[in-house]
């Protein structure tokens, strides 16, 4: 864990070490794409400010329009000293196609934010921008880890578990995943659960249409076997097939699926929660009496809202690259952005990406040679 508190300026003091071996003694620097979110740079800087107050030992690199960012930082006491601004002329919009951004996006704030991780100046990058473009830029600038075929996006899902969250991946990096990809998702998801949710031995489940072993698509049956074999060496429990209703359950910590199914499930969950919250609002505003009851229920309703608040679970983590990138919701406000940055700090302090890389490399070796090589986390 990083314990160094002396990071009064981010610039210069940042680690340029790419192996990460000595990162533990250097200050943690988070790279933030300050543009590209629906609510503009003001919300991003406000989010940075919340995270900075909570974490006095952290520095930031903000990418975007220099003048705008300078003005915004000046409004928050003490924040400028902890943030380095990297000027970028252009912004990736929500409508920009990933391919175009890959070709012509060199001057965007997104590109600069990812490059700060590539150069080793920052450990994790956070962006509210367009998911497809962010994945494309991350892929070409950071490159895939050796032995990873398809990177994945992992999301946090409010659950009945003690931590309050489960992890699901892939939720949309790629619409396809074969058996080996699913195995890699299991390894990466377990590593994320250990480092992000602090679980020693995460329980991993493979999403299917039933829990019986004979059910589902052919690649799922093979993946079941592969993950089952890898579980012990990789220090996780494999609970086998799980169903959609298990995603928020306490049967499992990590849910593995392809990016098509994961994306549909994620958005279905969000849609259902939003429908119920609309219906609840209508129920409580139906008559003068129910409106009074709603007032008296404010504390209960707030407690409920806090538990299912999608902003608390903000941050899709890109896994399988040479560096960690976190995609915050495009419409995130300062609370949401602060949550994504907090997640970045947690992962950065646990030296997550190096542990994940070691874990995946070791499992890949085990699969090839049958040898078991013990690695940390």
Q: Does 290 bind a second copy (CB under 8 A)?
A: yes
Q: Which two tokens stand for residue 242?
A: 């799980």
Interacting residues of 358 by C-beta distance below 8 A, sequence separation 6+: 375, 376
For 162, the 3-state DSSP assignment is coil
Which residue among 186, 265, 321, 345 contacts a second copy (CB under 8 A)?
Answer: 265
Which residue among 5, 149, 272, 372 contacts a second copy (CB under 8 A)?
Answer: 272
Which residue among 6, 22, 200, 289 contacts a second copy (CB under 8 A)?
Answer: 289
The answer to whether 24 touches 2, Cβ cutoff 8 Å, is yes
Tell me the CB-side half-sphere exposure of residue 358, using CA atoms within 13 A: 13
The answer to whether 62 touches 83, Cβ cutoff 8 Å, is yes
Q: Does 201 bind a second copy (CB under 8 A)?
A: no
Residues 33 to 72 in contact with a second copy, rule: CB under 8 A: none
Q: In this chain, which stretch among 16-24, 37-45, 301-309, 366-374 interacts with a second copy, using CB under 8 A? A: 301-309
Q: Does 266 bind a second copy (CB under 8 A)?
A: yes
Interatomic CA distance for residues 74 and 69, integer angstroms: 8
Q: Does 297 bind a second copy (CB under 8 A)?
A: yes
Which residue among 28, 55, 123, 263 contacts a second copy (CB under 8 A)?
Answer: 263
Q: In this chain, which stretch among 28-36, 233-241, 265-273, 313-321 interacts with a second copy, using CB under 8 A? A: 265-273
Between residues 1 and 289, which has the closer beta carbon with respect to a second copy? 289
Q: Does 249 bind a second copy (CB under 8 A)?
A: yes
Interatomic CA distance for residues 313 and 3, integer angstroms: 26
Q: In this chain, which stretch among 196-204, 233-241, 286-294, 322-330 interacts with a second copy, using CB under 8 A? A: 286-294
Interatomic CA distance for residues 202 and 193, integer angstroms: 6
Which residue among 75, 78, 149, 304 contacts a second copy (CB under 8 A)?
Answer: 304
Which residue among 109, 159, 161, 314 contacts a second copy (CB under 8 A)?
Answer: 159
Q: Does 270 bind a second copy (CB under 8 A)?
A: yes
Interatomic CA distance for residues 291 and 286, integer angstroms: 7
> 213-240 as b/e, with b when 16 or more CB fall inside 10 Å?
eeebeebbbebbebbeebbebbbbbbbb
Place of tokens 């880890």: 145
Chain centre to alpha carbon of residue 193: 11
Which candidate, 165, 128, 166, 131, places its Cα nearest to that of 151?
131
Q: Does 284 bind a second copy (CB under 8 A)?
A: yes
Q: In this chain, which stretch among 21-29, 293-301, 316-324, 338-346 interacts with a second copy, using CB under 8 A? A: 293-301
Which residue among 217, 232, 371, 372 contacts a second copy (CB under 8 A)?
Answer: 217
Interatomic CA distance for residues 148 and 151, integer angstroms: 7
Interatomic CA distance for residues 326 and 356, integer angstroms: 15
Q: Does 24 bind a second copy (CB under 8 A)?
A: no
Shortest distance in whole angstroms from residue 270 CB to a second copy: 5
Size of the site for a second copy (CB under 8 A): 56
Between residues 56 and 210, which has the closer beta carbon with respect to a second copy? 210
The answer to whether 243 touches 210, Cβ cutoff 8 Å, is yes
Which residue among 16, 19, 200, 245 contacts a second copy (CB under 8 A)?
Answer: 245
Between residues 78 and 271, which has the closer beta carbon with respect to a second copy? 271
Between residues 53 and 306, which has the closer beta carbon with respect to a second copy? 306
Shortest distance in whole angstroms from residue 313 CB to a second copy: 13
What does the DSSP 8-state code read for residue 246?
Answer: G
Cβ neighbours, 10 Å, residue 4: 12
Interatomic CA distance for residues 315 and 227, integer angstroms: 26
For 130, the 3-state DSSP assignment is coil
Q: Does 211 bind a second copy (CB under 8 A)?
A: no
Q: Which two tokens stand for residue 85?
A: 């601004």
Q: Does 261 bind a second copy (CB under 8 A)?
A: yes
Contact residues toward a second copy (CB under 8 A) are 158-160, 172, 175-176, 207, 209, 216-217, 243-249, 257, 259-261, 263-276, 278-280, 283-284, 286-287, 289-290, 292-294, 296-297, 299-301, 303-304, 307-308
């Amino acid at each position: 864990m990083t314990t160094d508190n002396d990071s009064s300026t981010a610039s210069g003091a940042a680690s340029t070490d790419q192996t990460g071996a000595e990162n533990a003694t250097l200050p943690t620097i988070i790279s933030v794409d300050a543009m590209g979110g629906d609510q503009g740079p003001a919300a991003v800087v406000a989010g940075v400010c919340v995270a900075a107050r909570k974490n006095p030992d952290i520095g930031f690199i903000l990418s975007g329009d220099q003048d705008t960012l300078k003005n915004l930082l000046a409004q928050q006491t003490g924040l400028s000293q902890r943030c380095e601004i990297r000027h970028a002329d252009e912004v990736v919009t929500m409508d920009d196609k990933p391919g175009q951004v890959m070709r012509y996006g060199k001057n965007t704030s997104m590109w600069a934010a990812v490059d700060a991780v590539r150069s080793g100046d920052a450990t994790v990058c956070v962006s509210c921008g367009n998911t497809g473009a962010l994945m494309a830029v991350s892929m070409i600038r950071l490159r895939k880890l050796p032995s990873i075929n398809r990177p994945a996006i992992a999301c946090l899902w409010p659950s009945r578990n003690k931590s309050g969250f489960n992890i699901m991946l892939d939720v949309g990096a790629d619409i396809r995943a074969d058996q080996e990809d699913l195995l890699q998702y299991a390894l990466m998801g377990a590593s994320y659960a250990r480092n992000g949710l602090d679980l020693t031995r995460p329980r991993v489940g493979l999403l299917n249409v039933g829990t019986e072993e004979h059910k589902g698509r052919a690649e799922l049956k093979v993946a079941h076997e592969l993950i089952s074999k890898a579980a012990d060496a990789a220090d996780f429990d494999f609970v086998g097939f799980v169903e959609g209703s298990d995603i928020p359950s306490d049967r499992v910590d990590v849910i593995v699926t392809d990016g098509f199914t994961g994306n549909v499930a994620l958005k279905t969950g969000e849609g259902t929660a939003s429908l119920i919250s609309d219906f609840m609002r209508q129920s409580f505003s139906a008559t003068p009496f129910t409106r009074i009851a709603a007032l008296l229920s404010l504390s209960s309703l707030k407690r409920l809202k806090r538990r299912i608040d999608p902003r608390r679970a903000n941050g899709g983590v890109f896994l399988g690259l040479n560096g960690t990138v976190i995609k915050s919701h495009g419409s995130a406000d300062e609370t949401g952005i602060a949550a994504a940055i907090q997640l970045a700090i947690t992962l950065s302090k646990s030296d997550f990406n190096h542990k994940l890389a070691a874990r995946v490399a070791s499992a890949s070796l085990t699969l090839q040679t049958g040898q078991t090589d013990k690695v940390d986390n």
